[in-house]
Every structure is written in C-alpha cells, then in structure tokens.
Chains A and B, each alone.
Chain A
Amino acid sequence: MKNKKNTVLVLGAGIAGIQASLDLAEMGVEVHLIEGTPTIGGRMPQLDKTFPTNDCSMCILSPKMSECARHPLITIHIKSTLEEISGEPGAFTCRVIEQAKYVDPVKCVSCGLCEAKCPVKIDDEFDVGLRKTKAISRYFLQSIPSEYTINPSHCLYLTKGVCKLCEKVCPTGAINYDDKDREIEISAGAVILATGIDPFNPLGFGQYGYHRYPNVVTSLEFERMLSASGPLGGHVVRASDDKPPKKIAFLQCIGSRDEGIDRNYCSSACCMFAIKQSIIAKEHSKDLDASIFYMDIRAFGKDFDKYYDKAENHYGVKFKRSKIADIVELPDGSLDLKYTFENGDIQHEVFDLVVLSIGLQPRTGSRKLADKLDIRLNKFGFCHSDTFTPQETTRQGVFVCGAMNNPKDIPESVVSASGAVAGAVKFLNLGRHDISTGEEEIIEKDVSGERPRVGVFVCHCGINIAGVVDVKNVAEMAKDLKNVEHSEDVMYACSTDCLELIKERIEEHGLNRVVVAACTPRTHEPLFRDTISGAGLNPYLFEMANIRDQCSWAHMNEPELATEKSKDLVEMAVGKARNLTPLKRLPIAIDPEALVVGGGLAGMTCALAIADAGHQVFMVEKESSLGGNMKDIFFNLDGSDPQQFLAETIRKVEDHPEIRVFLNSTIEDIAGYVGNFRTMFTNGSGQQEELTHGVVVVATGGSEHKTTEYLYDESSRVITQKEFERMLQEEKFPPGKLREVVFVQCVGSREEGRMYCSRVCCSKAVKNARQLQSKKSRANIYFAYRDIRTYGFSEQYYSELRNSGALFFRYTPDNKPEVEKVHPDDPESRVRVTLFDPVLEKDVVIEADLVVLATAIDPPEENLKLAKMLKIPLNSDGLFLEAHVKLRPVDFATDGIFVCGLAHSPKDMSESIAQAKAAGSRALTFLKKNSILAEGTIAEVRTDRCSGCGYCEDVCAYAAIEIDPEEGVAVINDALCKGCGACVASCRCGALDLRGFTNEQLFSVFDALEIDAVEGIV
C-alpha cells in the first residue's frame, strides 16, 4: 500500500454522506461526493420537523449543506453514479459517470426564468408528486448546488427536437443541449457508501386503499403537506375536498414487521415519525383529533419516551393498540376504519384522513449496485455488516453508513457516518496540517476610516417568519435607519443563492456592515460570517436580529405587535452594527494527544480509532481491568462471540504503542480548553499524575439499576438479565428442572425517576430466552412487557421466539406483575407470578422456577463530577447532553470534548462501537490540525485609563488578566480570555472593554430602543 491516496470517495449526499465528507475534509482529506439527484441533502430536506425536539429539518441541515458546498477540499458531483471500484484498498480507482446537466453551472445564475417559461410539467419527485415541476428545474428551493438542470427524459427539445424556450430566455446563455455524459476516474484510498433508503411503496397492497382513496396518504406525503415550504404551504387539507381534516388516523408498521412480504424487520423510525406528525398536526390545528394505531410504540431513543408521553398527555394524541381489519371509503371521502383490540373487541371509527406510516426499505437498484461494487447484502437487501464492525462492508476499504445497512434515524446516521470515516482514514496516510490547507486566501478589505454602510436582509424563512411578521414592512422601515445603505427581504437568507446575493449586494452598495434579521445567531451566525468573509469583509462586521425564534414563533397570534418588535430588533441590530469594528482571531495550538475517560467497549474502540491514526491516547479507567459492562455479555443474537471480540480488543489496546492505559485511576481535575487540556489524576498506586492533551472523550459508561422490586432482594429465584446471562454461560441453574421462566421487562425504566427506555433490554431478553431454548431446555417462557422494542433486524428473532410458543403478556405501569414466594420461609422457594392477561381479560398465575428482570441502565454517579469539571451539561436523566441531538450527536457545545457509549444514552454493542468510532473521528478533526482559530470576542485594555487597581484580576475565573508589576496596568492573555466580560463590568475606570460587545456598541443599542415621545424635562 505504497501509493496511498489521501482522497476518499463518498457515494450518496444525504445527511450521512455530508457528515462523512465534512469530517474527512476537516482532517485534511480530499473528498469526492457522488450524488445521483441534482442536489445534496438526501431525505432530510423533505422533512418538515425532526423528533424529539421539533427542530425545523431544513434549518438545521442547510448550514451543513452550505459548509459542504463551500469546503475547498470537497468536490460535489451531482447526477452521478459510481460504476466500478478497481484496485486495492488504499489505492482504488473508481469509475464515475457524470450525467449531462444541459445547463452550464458556471454561467447559470439560478434566476428561474427558464423554469417559468418551460412548457413541460412533470410530477415533482421531491414533493412526492404532490406538486408539479418543470423539465428544467431545481430539485427544491434550497438545492445545493443551486444551478438548474434539465431532465432529459421530459425536455421537449431533447426528446422531440422542438421548443428551446429555455435557451431563448436564459440571460446568460447557460443552456447547452449538446452536453454529454462524462466518464471520470477518481483515485481514492477508501470508499464510503451512504446511498440511504427508499420509503416503502404501499401501492401494491390494496387493503389500505392507497391511491384508490384520495384521503389515504403515506407519511412522507403527509410530511410534505405539513411542511411550510411544501405544496400546501403547511395548511393541511384533504385531496378530495380541500377541507382541513378534523380527525386523522396514523396506521403503523405499513411495510414493516411483516413476514408475509419479506419485511420481518422493524423500520425503527416510524413510531417516532408518527408521534412527531401527530404533534405537529395538532399544533397546526388545536381541535384536531389524532389517533395512532399500533402494535408496540418503539420510542427507544434518547428522550423519545418523554416525547411519547408529551404527545399522549399534553397534546392528547390517542394511542390505540389494535389491528386494522378494513378501510372503507364513505361517500364524502372520509374513511371508515374497522379495527380490533387485543381482547377481540371490534370497533368502527370514521376519519377524515388516514396516514400510512410507511417503513424504510433498501433503495431500488441496491442489488445491482452491490454486484457492481462487489459487496454483500443481507437477506432483506440492506448492505451486510457484522455486529463488531458496523461500518465495514464485505469488501476491504469500502465502508457503509446511514440507513444503507439498517434502518436508522438522523442522529444514528450521523454517528455511523463519522464512524465510517474512522475506518476510512486507516487506508490513508494523514499527517497534521495547517488550517489554511487548500483554502484560498481572501484579502480582507480595510474598512477603517469609512463611514458605516449597513446592509439589512430580512428573511421570510418560508412562512416561519413571514406568516406572522410583515417582513416587507420591516425591510422597508430599515431603509430609513441611520447608516443603512441597503435593505431587502429574502425568502431564505441561509440558502446558497441568497448568500451569493448578500455578497453581490456588498459589492454593489459598498456595504461594510451586514445585518441579517432571521433565525437565531446560535445556529446561523457562523454561516453569515463566513459569507461576508467571502466578500472580503471582516466576519465580525456582522450582526443578527433574531426575529424568528424569539419573535414570530413566540408571538404567533399577535402579528402586529410581532412586526413592531421585529422592527425594534432590526433597529437595535443596525445600531450595534454601526459601531462594529473588525476583529482578529488568534491561532490556538492543538496538542496532538487525546484523553479517553473510561475503558469499556466504547472507550477502547474510540482510543483505537485515534491511536491507529497516529495519535497518543491516555486512557483512564477507574476499575482494575478493561472491558466495562461487556465483561458480562456472552451471547449475541446473530451468534457472534462477544467475549472473543472483547479479548481481542483488550489485547489491541494493551499492545498498542500509542495507547497508555491507567487502571484503578480517578480523575481529580481537568483544566484548560480545546487543544490545551491539563488533567490531574490519581493513579493505581495512589499518586497524583498530570497529563496534557488536546481533546477529551467521555466514555464513562453506565451501570445496571439496582432494583428492590419483584422480591429481587428476597428470593434467589428472582435475578437480573445480567445474572441470567452469566447463568446461561456457566450453565449453573437453580436446583430442580426449569419448567417455567418469566421475563419481566421495563424494571425501573419508563417510569417516574427514569423516564427513559433502556433500549437494549427487549433484545437482550429475547436473546437470552432463545439461548435458554438452545440449551435444550423445555421451559415454558413468559414475557411480561409494556412494548416489545426489538427494533431493526432484532425483530426477526422476536417473531421467531413468539412462533416458538413463548407467551407474551402486556402490562401497564398501574397493573404490574405481582411476585410472591410459594413458601415464604424458604429462600429457594419457587415464586408465584400473577399477570393480567389483556387478551383474556383475567389474571394468569404462573409458579415460576425463575423470574428474570430486565433492569434499567443507570448513568454512573461520577458523571456529575466530570460534568462540572469539564463544564458540560447533563440532561434531566443524568446522561450527557450532546451539542445537538440530531446533527452533533457526539460533540459537546464546548469544543474539543466528545461523548460515546452508554454515557450518552443506553445502546447496544454495535451502536456503542459505531458511536465510539464516531467520537474518534470527531476528535481527529481537531487532532489532525496544528492549530485552530480562537474567537475574536475577548477583552481589551486601554492602558492610559487603567489605574492598576486589580479588581479585574479578582473577578476573572480564568486567570486571563493580571496587573503588570512594572507598568502598573492590566494585561490580558488573549489565549486564555473566554470573552465573558465580567472584568469589563467590574472596571471602575472604564479601561476595559469587550470586543464585539463594547460599551459603545451596547449604548448604541439602547439609543435604538429609546422612546421618542419625551414630554418634559425634570
């Protein structure tokens, strides 16, 4: 592998492909991102909101899309396919076909005249046929790249040789009917596949009435109906009569968990998807009645159960555990649903609209792709990967991420993408690099001495802002403000074409300050700063007015007052912008070592990912051996051997030249900041040691909840899953034959004090029950459960267990199973379990030889201490809270700190491995750089005013300011200053100021706020 190429080819530009590309590019790797459609973005742009935070999908995705498009190391190939991979891992040659676009992307200005004139209307694929588009079009409003393309199978000129209207109206002569498909060869060290999934098509399944009845829609269609930028503008109406529905039914598991159609797997995301849609629909229309018809609600992810609870108890969504027997259309277009409850009761109910929660399935053509690329698929047609190597395909050097290898939601796709990157970099030869790699230096304009010329851009955000605030009026008002040279309203300020527009306006009007009134600076300020930076302005000459999150969304019923407030906010922003000055960002050197806290599976996997990339890793583990919780896992559902894998992993860690393991060690203190951490810990021999490192990975794991329920403390016949698994492994069963074994699920989970699902217990119980059966035990198996959550491919094992005769009894928290000893005085007495059977509607009594409790996963107590040391947040359950639930699942808001494994939330082995590799990758995006740039907002001293009193020194929490003994004035350490401004407010002489938040700037904000009508002077 001499000719290692520092290039990776990523196939598929959905969220997984985008994340993989960004991670690689940040490590200094050149990326070719191949996408079949005319835009990057994948499925996410089709979504209106995302669970469980109801974040606007496009809002969180578009900064990543823009970042991807702007990154100098990423080359995007749209309308392209990967045809062949030849050569060896480390030096692949990839044959790619770029289809003709018929529009020159360099000349196209995305004005849209061509689309307006094009006479050919075709179904819009992006809006799942709910809207028409043209033969020349953009895939969707915020497509990246934003240039138009011609669909050759519909274009009149390309099919029949007539028309050419687009060529006539195009102002830049960008149309090129002679464009040809091109074949290109890309040399790449590794390949990452992220082609995603297709939604299940219910067309061939007549029982649901899809397409036969206009008011039966799929969940994807309903999502587009809900979307503010969708075909209905977010106002949901029925196709049959354009009336808003008052009663909506969501039918779960359409195309999932269905052996009859070869889909004996759970699509994992649809339950949450339906809950989200029911909540959003109810927010749109308060008196809406929403019912979800389901088998089990699989809300197994972090904070999912709270969302489920909120839907049921706050929003009043009705959850009906039942089977749909029939759907009949009534004369007015409504639908009569016939359904049966568990106890056999049959009910009829009429709904205005029925939403089919369709499952996820492998993409059409994935079999062909697999053959071309020589990779194996599993029996359901998803890309095959093993439990211990979730991102590896059967071909070395070719990795997989996103939903291509199993159904996933967004954060898991992001995790798997970063995880795949960790695999791919092993086939590259990466050194450390300076941040400027590949970046074209833009000369910054000197604006000093110029009078302020402010440009104001007021965003509609579709109808998110414009639906409440009179955006045009706000933009108009801004024109009259002092120093405003230009003001206009824009549809989506963050879209690529608008960012280009801002740059053009800077040139056109000679703007030297920019104000964008849109969403929150928290998510979008970096994007706009980058944009004005691209136009030669210092990025700090920018100010944002938050007229969405803190105005239109919070005052939806008061459009006039919201408009007035928006004006105030814009006026304040302009006031501040007027006084902004250019700031410089200083480089912060990055220490190339990493600290990993915790030596369980996640910690070890992450350490190996970082160490294999050539970086020293310090691993601090509190126990006397490595392995964590995995030491108690002996079987896997797919038959693989966890203990063998664990032994190999421990050996790799212990033998690795770049990993230093500290056992029996506890961390006392972590100081410093990204790139420059300093950690004090007590080592195994009780001595204090100090480490310096550039990043921290938190992998502190979790522990089994200690229950007192179900006689756990009193009977030797009541044990936990963990104890049962060891019992199975050692074959040491309690005396007598095992005839009756009862599994009790959700012990401690999903109830007061632990309002979360521990996620792994259902699959674990199914696994151990099957293991018991494989020991030739003829025991009768009973499950007491609330919802069986064997998501993904575990479903097949659950249905096998069910088919083998195991009996399942659902219980509710107010009617838990009761356990009592048959002979109260005998500690080894069998136990009597009383279960309520909702099918027979009476109690069932079992004299059990063994009761196995699926106890919850608890976060370790030391999380709190670590959270305080690192100043990172925990959620209300004591789990570490990542920077963004959807798109930054392993990062913290504080740079240079990452999380993986159970410390983040309960997850299984394969998921822990994926997340650990992801954390490793994310850490490498820092470690592979020699330095990063610090923020520009730090304090400064005007020494001529300083009296050297030293109050500032006392208030600074970072020892970033001190009095120079010789000069007798305060001096600031720029690298240590965090820019809080505490010293500034403490300064009695007005010698201190905070850059970016100066007294002058803030005073000009107050001036903007000043009430004009003063009537007298006192």
Chain B
Amino acid sequence: MNKEFTPRITSFLCKWCSYTGADLAGTSRLQYSTSIIPLQVMCSSRVDPVFLLKAYLSGSDGVLMGGCHPGDCHYETGNYHTRRRFALVKEVFDSLGLESARLKLSWISASEGPKFARVANEYTEEIRKLGENPTRKSIFL
C-alpha cells in the first residue's frame, strides 16, 4: 500500500443539518480532509441500508452518515429511524464478515462547521489506519 493513501469516504449528509454544517465549515475556511465526498440527501432517514452496502462494495474506504441531532430532525423523527437502521446495518456487516468499522454515524447541526471539520479529519485518520477497502482489490459475488 502506498504511503500517501488518501481514503475515499462517501458521506451521506442530510440537507438541513449536516450538509449545511459542511457548507459552514467551508464558509469559515476550516480545512479538512479531501477524503470526504459529500452526497446530499433530504434526510438521513432516506439512506436505505442497501446504500451503505453499495457504497462499501463500490470501494469506498469509509461511509459517513450525517444527520440532525436527535430531537432536531427537520422531519421530526427521521433521524431516530436512521439510528435504528444504522445499528442494524452494523450487525449485518459484522455477520457477513464485512468491516463495520468503515461505517460511521455522526450528528452534525447546521451551525457546527467546526464539528464537521473535526469529524471529517478524525474519521479520515481512523480509516487511514484501517487501510484500503479490501473490495478495491476484489469483488464479492
């Protein structure tokens, strides 16, 4: 593996909190890892468990999910569903022998630009330690 490994982290960000928080990080010129590849969704609860699996199998070294803080969901209860589903997906990953450490859920509000940058950097480091996603080298059938 090369030293300059730049992980690729597919990041599902909800439109109202995390995506806006990520925008704020940029507007405040907070610098964070280029590994974060943002993908806007209306609500974190839109993220079907299959999306996480698909992102993983497509070679993402990490998958980040960002939602509003519990209780602050723009859609009232969406992030509670997200939280439950996410726990389930982690279990499914474990039972299939996939690395559930490559999945992360974080609550980031629209005003938390600094938190977004911090989470981005910390998670990139974690993933860097894990190394490349093995699916980059092989395909699971």
Nearest CB in chain A: distance from B82 CB, A = 8
Does B59 lie within 8 Å of A980, measured CB to CB? no
The yes or no answer to B74 lying at the interface (CB within 8 A) is yes
CB neighbours of A572 from chain B (8 A): 37, 39
Does B58 lie within 8 Å of A1009, measured CB to CB? yes
CB neighbours of A522 from chain B (8 A): 15, 19-20, 23
The yes or no answer to A1010 lying at the interface (CB within 8 A) is yes
Does A982 lie within 8 Å of B78, measured CB to CB? yes
The yes or no answer to A152 lying at the interface (CB within 8 A) is no
Digit string of B53-81 for contact with A (CB within 8 Å is 1, else 0)?
01100111000000000000011111001
CB neighbours of A521 from chain B (8 A): 40
Q: In the docked arrangement, what's the CA distance between A521 and B138, Å?
A: 36
CB neighbours of A978 from chain B (8 A): 75
Does A554 lie within 8 Å of B43, measured CB to CB? no
Does A555 lie within 8 Å of B34, measured CB to CB? yes
Digit string of B26-68 for contact with A (CB within 8 Å is 1, else 0)?
1111111010111111110111110100110011100000000
Does B75 lie within 8 Å of A520, measured CB to CB? no
Does B47 lie within 8 Å of A985, measured CB to CB? yes
Q: A565-B37, A1016-B139 are in contact. Are A982 and B55 (CB under 8 A)?
A: no
Does B42 lie within 8 Å of A1018, measured CB to CB? no
Does B31 lie within 8 Å of A1006, measured CB to CB? no
Nearest CB in chain A: distance from B28 CB, A = 7
Does A1015 lie within 8 Å of B137, measured CB to CB? yes
Q: Which of A557, A561, A871, A981 contacts B6 (CB 8 A)?
A: A561
The yes or no answer to B108 lying at the interface (CB within 8 A) is no
Q: In the docked arrangement, what's the CA distance between A1006 and B20, Å?
A: 22
Which residues of chain A from 595 to 628 have any CB-CB distance to chain B below 8 Å in the complex? Answer: none
Does A1018 lie within 8 Å of B141, measured CB to CB? yes
Kindly state the interface size class of chain B when it binds its partner.
Answer: 35 or more
CB neighbours of B60 from chain A (8 A): 1009
Digit string of A558-572 for contact with B (CB within 8 Å is 1, else 0)?
100110110011001
CB neighbours of A55 from chain B (8 A): 27
Does B45 lie within 8 Å of A554, measured CB to CB? no
Q: Which of B20, B37, B55 contacts A569 (CB 8 A)?
A: B37
The yes or no answer to B110 lying at the interface (CB within 8 A) is yes
Does A1017 lie within 8 Å of B141, measured CB to CB? yes
Does A1016 lie within 8 Å of B138, measured CB to CB? yes
The yes or no answer to B25 lying at the interface (CB within 8 A) is yes
Nearest CB in chain B: distance from A203 CB, A = 35
Nearest CB in chain B: distance from A983 CB, A = 9
CB neighbours of B20 from chain A (8 A): 522
The yes or no answer to B117 lying at the interface (CB within 8 A) is yes
User: Considering only CB atoms, which chain B residue lies closest to A875 in the complex?
Assistant: B111
User: Considering only CB atoms, which chain A residue lies closest to B77 in the complex?
Assistant: A957
User: Considering only CB atoms, which chain A residue lies closest to B38 in the complex?
Assistant: A550
Q: A548-B26, A556-B29 are in contact. Are A994 and B46 (CB under 8 A)?
A: yes
CB neighbours of A981 from chain B (8 A): 41-43, 45-46
CB neighbours of B42 from chain A (8 A): 937, 979-981, 994, 997
Does B45 lie within 8 Å of A955, measured CB to CB? yes
Does B31 lie within 8 Å of A1017, measured CB to CB? no
Digit string of A1003-1018 for contact with B (CB within 8 Å is 1, else 0)?
1011101110111111
Q: A283-B29, A981-B42 are in contact. Are A1009 and B37 (CB under 8 A)?
A: yes
The yes or no answer to B104 lying at the interface (CB within 8 A) is no
Does B48 lie within 8 Å of A984, measured CB to CB? yes
Using a Cβ–Cβ cut-off of 8 Å, how many residues does chain A contribute to the interface with B?
A: 59
Does A1006 lie within 8 Å of B55, measured CB to CB? yes
Q: In the docked arrangement, what's the CA distance between A55 and B141, Å?
A: 49
User: Considering only CB atoms, which chain A residue lies closest to B27 in the complex?
Assistant: A549
Does B22 lie within 8 Å of A550, measured CB to CB? yes
Q: Which of A283, A555, A958, A1014 contacts B137 (CB 8 A)?
A: A1014
Does A1017 lie within 8 Å of B47, measured CB to CB? no
Does B58 lie within 8 Å of A1017, measured CB to CB? no
Q: In the docked arrangement, what's the CA distance between A1011 and B43, Å?
A: 26
Does B8 lie within 8 Å of A557, measured CB to CB? no
Digit string of B9-27 for contact with A (CB within 8 Å is 1, else 0)?
0100001100110110111
The yes or no answer to A546 lying at the interface (CB within 8 A) is yes
The yes or no answer to A240 lying at the interface (CB within 8 A) is no
Q: In the docked arrangement, what's the CA distance between A994 and B34, Å?
A: 29
CB neighbours of B81 from chain A (8 A): 955, 982, 985-986
Q: Which of A520, A980, A1014 contacts B43 (CB 8 A)?
A: A980
The yes or no answer to A1002 lying at the interface (CB within 8 A) is yes
Q: In the docked arrangement, what's the CA distance between A592 and B9, Å?
A: 48
Q: A957-B75, A994-B46 are in contact. Are A550 and B138 (CB under 8 A)?
A: no
Q: In the docked arrangement, what's the CA distance between A572 and B28, Å?
A: 25
Does A557 lie within 8 Å of B47, measured CB to CB? no
CB neighbours of B117 from chain A (8 A): 554
Nearest CB in chain B: distance from A807 CB, A = 42
Q: A554-B26, A1006-B55, A1013-B136 are in contact. Are A982 and B75 (CB under 8 A)?
A: yes
The yes or no answer to B85 lying at the interface (CB within 8 A) is yes
The yes or no answer to A99 lying at the interface (CB within 8 A) is no
Digit string of A859-874 for contact with B (CB within 8 Å is 1, else 0)?
0000000000001010
CB neighbours of B31 from chain A (8 A): 554-557
Does A1016 lie within 8 Å of B137, measured CB to CB? yes
Does B58 lie within 8 Å of A1006, measured CB to CB? yes
Does B8 lie within 8 Å of A1011, measured CB to CB? yes
The yes or no answer to A176 lying at the interface (CB within 8 A) is no
Q: A53-B27, A54-B27, A1018-B141 are in contact. Are A984 and B8 (CB under 8 A)?
A: no
Q: In the docked arrangement, what's the CA distance between A654 and B41, Å?
A: 48
Does B138 lie within 8 Å of A985, measured CB to CB? no
Q: Which of B19, B32, B34, B78 contacts A980 (CB 8 A)?
A: B78
Nearest CB in chain A: distance from B74 CB, A = 7
Does A554 lie within 8 Å of B138, measured CB to CB? no
CB neighbours of B39 from chain A (8 A): 572, 1002, 1005
CB neighbours of A53 from chain B (8 A): 27
Does A1015 lie within 8 Å of B10, measured CB to CB? no
CB neighbours of B46 from chain A (8 A): 980-982, 984-985, 994, 997
Q: In the docked arrangement, what's the CA distance between A568 and B32, Å?
A: 17
Digit string of A204-241 for contact with B (CB within 8 Å is 1, else 0)?
00000000000000000000000000000000000000
Q: A546-B38, A550-B26, A1009-B55 are in contact. Are A1017 and B138 (CB under 8 A)?
A: yes
Q: In the docked arrangement, what's the CA distance between A569 and B47, Å?
A: 19
Does A1009 lie within 8 Å of B59, measured CB to CB? yes
User: Considering only CB atoms, which chain A residue lies closest to B56 in the complex?
Assistant: A1006
Does B45 lie within 8 Å of A54, measured CB to CB? no
Does A553 lie within 8 Å of B26, measured CB to CB? yes
Nearest CB in chain A: distance from B118 CB, A = 13
User: Considering only CB atoms, which chain A residue lies closest to B16 in the complex?
Assistant: A893
The yes or no answer to A999 lying at the interface (CB within 8 A) is yes
Does B10 lie within 8 Å of A549, measured CB to CB? no
Q: In the docked arrangement, what's the CA distance between A573 and B64, Å?
A: 19
User: Considering only CB atoms, which chain A residue lies closest to B134 in the complex?
Assistant: A1018
Q: In the docked arrangement, what's the CA distance between A772 and B24, Å?
A: 48
Nearest CB in chain B: distance from A477 CB, A = 16
CB neighbours of B51 from chain A (8 A): 1002, 1006
User: Considering only CB atoms, which chain A residue lies closest to B49 in the complex?
Assistant: A985
Does A982 lie within 8 Å of B43, measured CB to CB? yes
Which residues of chain A from 899 to 945 have any CB-CB distance to chain B below 8 Å in the complex? Answer: 937
Interchain residue pairs with CB less than 8 A apart (19): A53-B27, A283-B29, A522-B20, A522-B23, A549-B22, A553-B26, A554-B29, A556-B31, A558-B34, A876-B111, A937-B42, A955-B45, A979-B42, A980-B46, A982-B78, A985-B85, A999-B48, A1006-B55, A1014-B59
List chain B positions with a Cβ less than 8 A from chain A. 6, 8, 10, 15-16, 19-20, 22-23, 25-32, 34, 36-43, 45-49, 51, 54-55, 58-60, 74-78, 81, 85, 110-111, 117, 133, 136-141
Given A550-B36, A999-B48, A1011-B58: 18 more A-B contacts, CB < 8 Å? A54-B27, A522-B20, A546-B23, A549-B22, A550-B22, A550-B38, A554-B117, A568-B37, A893-B16, A937-B42, A979-B42, A981-B46, A1002-B41, A1006-B51, A1006-B58, A1010-B59, A1015-B137, A1018-B139
9 tightest CB-CB pairs across the interface, nearest first? A981-B46, A1011-B59, A549-B26, A982-B45, A980-B75, A980-B43, A957-B76, A553-B26, A561-B34
